[in-house]
Structure 1
């Protein structure tokens, strides 16, 4: 028994919030197969209670529920300072709901009815994005250090790979500009600085 408990410490924890029993059962099975420890809530109030008591790595949240809606639960999570990936589930996709949940930081949407394969696909999608984000951050940090100590060629190779992760990262273009400037190629440096500024402006606009 103690060995099982020890294993659970390292398992990711998911909260499934839906007033439909079949949906809770389907998601529990899908998540357990993918090494999650699953807690289920059949109402928004119950979900808020669980969120107050323990930490989760992921939430599947139904939007349309009696008494307290999924959107209200989502807002409450953010008020509580809980900033974890939330996957929205809905049979009634509306623009208003989509905009509201996107603003709150929903990472994905599951349109009901959905299959086990669709759940797995969404999990793969959101966590590969997280991996890429971490890779990009590491690349930027590493290449900045290399440039600082004059290892420009090595930094340049890392930054070229970083562009394949995020071709719109202004920081990557700025660092490549720095490398060209250190090489004495001012014209090429300015070209990359201008590109960095352009992507910065686009991000501000969005």
Structure 2
């Protein structure tokens, strides 16, 4: 199992979550604020991150925005005691894979781990399927899958790139170039973008 980041300003929550995750076989890195977490995101290859939404200085939503701008696509589980529809929408748009409502139990943590791992694997599977459709010339099928997963992972540069390839193969060069440029904004580099 890989490394998991736990970001919460409450020590008891960090300790409980760390214990549960270590029992599941993960290496856990703890941070008590968003600034510490940003440093960890920049240095470490993380499999998953648990981020508290309500923290002083840098909120969980702000932290999520900052890592997505840096093209860090680590799956994130948002922890909150005060779930609101607006927070849920904002964090989902930024690629949060699940919500963990406080107070939580060890059973809830296990269920969330299972659910979030499934979502990430499913997303990777569908992007691979879209690539195969592109190779087979099934452009509409590829584009439909990619646009669906773009709403789930809006900062994944590879998805923009693949949509650009679909437009390019249709002969719509202007649309293709738009998507290639956005893919570069999200840090996706590929040598054959115009060929």
TM-score bracket for the superposition, by shorter chain length: 0.5 to 0.7
SS of equivalent to 1:65: coil
TM superposition score normalised by structure 2: 0.65
Q: CA deviation at 1:143?
A: 8.5
What TM-score results when the alignment is normalised by the length of structure 1? 0.62
Paired residues for 1:5-16 under 5 Å: 11-16=1-6
Q: Are the structure 2 counterparts of residues 99 and 142 from structure 1 closer, same or farther at C-alpha, using a change threshold of 3 Å?
A: closer
Q: 1:32 aligns to what?
A: 22
**Which of these two proteins has the greater Rg computed from alpha carbons?**
1
Matched position secondary structure for 1:87 = strand
Alignment of 1:146-185 (within 5 A): 171=141
2:74 maps to 1:88: no
**Cα 1:136/1:50, change in 2 over 3 Å:** closer
Name the structure where helix makes up a greater proportion of residues. 1
Structure with larger RCO (C-alpha < 8 A, sep 6+): 2
- Structure 2 residue matching 1:71: 3-state secondary structure: helix
The alignment status of 1:126 with 2:116, answered yes or no, reads yes
Instruction: Give the number of equivalent residue pairs.
Output: 147
5+ residue gaps in structure 2? 152-195
**How many Å apart are 1:125 and its aligned residue?**
0.9
CA-based RMSD of the aligned residues comes to 2.9
For 1:110, the equivalent position in structure 2 comes to 100
CA distance in 2, matches of 1:81, 1:137: 17
Q: CA deviation at 1:138?
A: 5.6
